[in-house]
Amino acid sequence: MQTRLEEILEKGQEKVPYGKTADYIPELGRRDPNHLGICVFTKDGKKYQAGDSQIRFTIQSISKVINLAAALEQRGFDYVFSKVGMEPSGEAFNSLVELDLTSSYPFNPMINSGAIAIASFLQPIMDFEEMLDFSRRLCMDPEITLDEAVCRSEMSHASRNRAIAYLLESKGIIENDVEKSLQLYIKLCSLSVTAESLANLGLILACGGINPVTGERLLKEDVVRVIKTIMFTCGMYDGSGTSAVYVGLPAKSGVGGGILSLADKKMGIGIYGPSLDQKGNSIAGQEMLRLLSKELKLHLFA
Ligand code: GLN
């Protein structure tokens, strides 16, 4: 497995020059586009890593998985899906179009409008410190902290997300303080993780919510089933269909360059590569995930 990961990393590196870092959040634009790392954590407790798997980067949209997990645990399925849909949007992650014209509520929890709506009803029941603690436990990573520089950078360039949040308020989806909801959403996007933390989270999801190392149950089984399904259909934004065909695994990406993935009942996978394609997905990360899935025959319909 170790040799295989190193070979996959080398092949992934060839794709790096075809992408670029996210510069709409200036602090992310300053990251080294050549960073690339992968970590695989298997159910029998073995961990394999190659490349920059220990470099910290911000979780960005992958926090939408944690956001959804907290919402389903705290408020339950019916409440969550009375506020947010479960359909792929086919639009960019920060689009307002479909929200305004075709739907009275966000398409799904994996795009910005859905996650901001969720943050708005989480915010009165779970504050940032509680969400930080929840994230640390799910990622088995006590070192996760708020990256203040990225958070400040996004806060001062949040016009689009602010527009989404006020549109949600105008439609009656956000009933709480809009600015506080936005702030919680952006802080959660600014948590610093590693490819290893994502592999840890992936393994917990692969194991139905149980930490296989300690035997502790962190999430309910039916909550995890919903999360994995929505990751599969919506986790790579408007690239989700392509990812389903080529990779065939639940996956969630973030513009920080991370990808969280898993092979059900087998392993968690974490990837870091901040050079992104036009849809905001790690360009080399997707290639590495495709190769890993192909070589280990992990595709859901292999
Ligand atoms: N914080 C980012 C934003 O709201 C997250 C987007 C992403 O990772 N796709 O724009």
Weakest-pLDDT range from 94-103, 152-161, 207-216, 271-280: 94-103
Residue that finishes a domain, picked among 151, 166, 189:
189
Same domain, 32 and 74: no
244-269 pLDDT, tens digit per residue, is 999 999 999 999 999 999 999 999 99
Which residues are CB-contacts of 192 (< 8 A; sequence separation ≥ 6)?
A: 56, 57, 58, 59, 144, 145, 146, 147
Same domain, 20 and 124: no
What pLDDT does 45 receive?
Answer: 92
Q: Examine the residue annotation and report whether 105 is marked as an active-site residue of this protein.
A: no
Give nearest CA residue, ligand 1 atom 2.
Answer: 60
Same domain, 181 and 226: no
Weakest-pLDDT range from 30-44, 97-111, 189-203: 97-111
Give nearest CA residue, ligand 1 atom 4.
Answer: 112
Task: Using the predicted structure, report yes or no on whether residue 90 has a pLDDT greater than 80.
Answer: no
What pLDDT does 94 receive?
Answer: 82
Catalytic residue among 53, 61, 240, 261, which? 61
Q: Could you tell me which residue, 227 or 238, shows the higher pLDDT?
A: 227
Average pLDDT of 21-34?
Answer: 94
Residue 161 near ligand 1, beta carbon < 6 Å: yes
Sign of the dihedral defined by the CA atoms of residues 278, 262, 54, 216, in that order: positive
Query: What is the model's pTM?
Result: 0.97
Residue 301: inside a domain: no
Calculate Rg over the CA atoms of the chain: 17
Range of the domain at 7: 2-60+194-296
Mutation to probe ligand 1, out of 21, 23, 24, 25 (largest number of atoms < 8 A from CB): 25
Q: Examine the residue annotation and report whether 190 is marked as an active-site residue of this protein.
A: no
